[in-house]
Amino acid sequence: MSAFVEVREGDGPLILAFPHVGTHVPAPVFARLNPLGQTLADTDWWVDRLYDGLAPAATTVRMDVHRYVIDVNRNPDGASLYPGQNTTGLCPLVDFEGNEIWRTGEEPSDDEIAERIATWHAPYHAALRAQIARVRDRHGVAILYDCHSIRSTLPFLFDGTLPDLNIGTADGRSCAAAIQSAVVEEAAGATGFSHVANGRFKGGWTTRTHGRPDARCHAVQMELAQSTYLADERVPFPYDTARADRLRPVLARILDRLDRLARDGSLRQGVS
């Protein structure tokens, strides 16, 4: 197991994944990033703090290495998750605004990318698989909830302003219909927050790979607009306690609903 994958085992049926909250960049790699890249602007700022304590029985799996080193929510073969649309890659060359993040000539080579996959990407997903198996053995089912956030306005990636709560289930393939319906219903009932299911964000590599309803593992990605809990979506990306305190009960209700679904027996179908 990589030292940069942090696992905290819980005794409940939920697994919360945090692939993009880490800010560790090895010093030799950090020196190769240009000044813009060194701001690490595309971090999922404070998402682990936002969810802290909302599902006490859940298992958490966190990657501490920054996505500019390697993005563990991207296909390891480099194929785009959104063909024909702007996005960032496995080892990103540009940020979410389309700006270059590496010093000229310092971009990662193919050999480096292969090494980073082996060192960080593979162990992260091995940890997820191990926890899914453990949780499923205990409860008969596992629900993987992938925790993300992004700036609410990014013309390079999408038009206009992003909804507050962006639910991704690979167009319904990564989880049972009851799970998607539950998350959508809770989001729709959240006063003051907008939502969409399978809009610009349909779930990344994690959701699409580990979400296997036939094997009793269900996966959902939640991409939050950072305007819902940050005071400013610019450096230094300050956490806004008042905004977060309005959002946290919404997230708590979603997680509680999923926990109850997992425990009531209705999802214990399929083959392992």
Residue 1: pLDDT over 70: no
For 43, how many CA atoms within 13 A lie in the half-sphere containing its CB?
A: 25
pLDDT of 267 reads: 87
Helix (H) / strand (E) containing 112:
helix 110-116
pLDDT of 83 reads: 92
Going by pLDDT thresholds of 50, 70 and 90, the confidence category of residue 266 is: confident
Instruction: Report the Cα–Cα distance between both ends of the chain, in Å, rounded.
Output: 24
Going by pLDDT thresholds of 50, 70 and 90, the confidence category of residue 14 is: very high
pLDDT of 257 reads: 98
Average per-residue pLDDT in the chain?
96
Instruction: Tell me phi and psi for residue 197, to 5 degrees.
Output: -110, 125
Percent of the chain with pLDDT over 70: 98
Cα separation, 132 vs 16, in Å, equals: 11
> Would you state the structure tokens that stand for residue 95, as one six-digit string?
């940020």
Cα separation, 95 vs 182, in Å, equals: 33
Q: Record the pTM.
A: 0.96
- Tokens 């190769």 correspond to 32
Helix axes 177-188, 241-263, angle to 10 degrees: 150
Buried (b) or exposed (e) across 42-80, using 16+ Cβ within 10 A? Answer: bbbbbbbebbeebbeebbbbbbbbbbbbbbbbbbbeeee
Amino acid at 167: I
Going by pLDDT thresholds of 50, 70 and 90, the confidence category of residue 269 is: low
Cα separation, 39 vs 103, in Å, equals: 14
Cα separation, 121 vs 76, in Å, equals: 8
- Tokens 């969409």 correspond to 196
The pLDDT tens digits for 114-135 are 999 999 999 999 999 999 999 9
Instruction: Tell me phi and psi for residue 113, to 5 degrees.
Output: -60, -45
The pLDDT tens digits for 189-244 are 999 999 999 999 999 999 999 999 999 999 999 999 999 999 999 999 999 999 99
Buried (b) or exposed (e) across 187-208, using 16+ Cβ within 10 A? Answer: beebeebebbbbebbbbbbbbb
pLDDT of 271 reads: 39
pLDDT of 272 reads: 34
Cβ 130 vs Cβ 13: under 8 Å: no
Tell me, rounded to whole angstroms, the distance of Cα 171 from its chain centroid.
Answer: 17
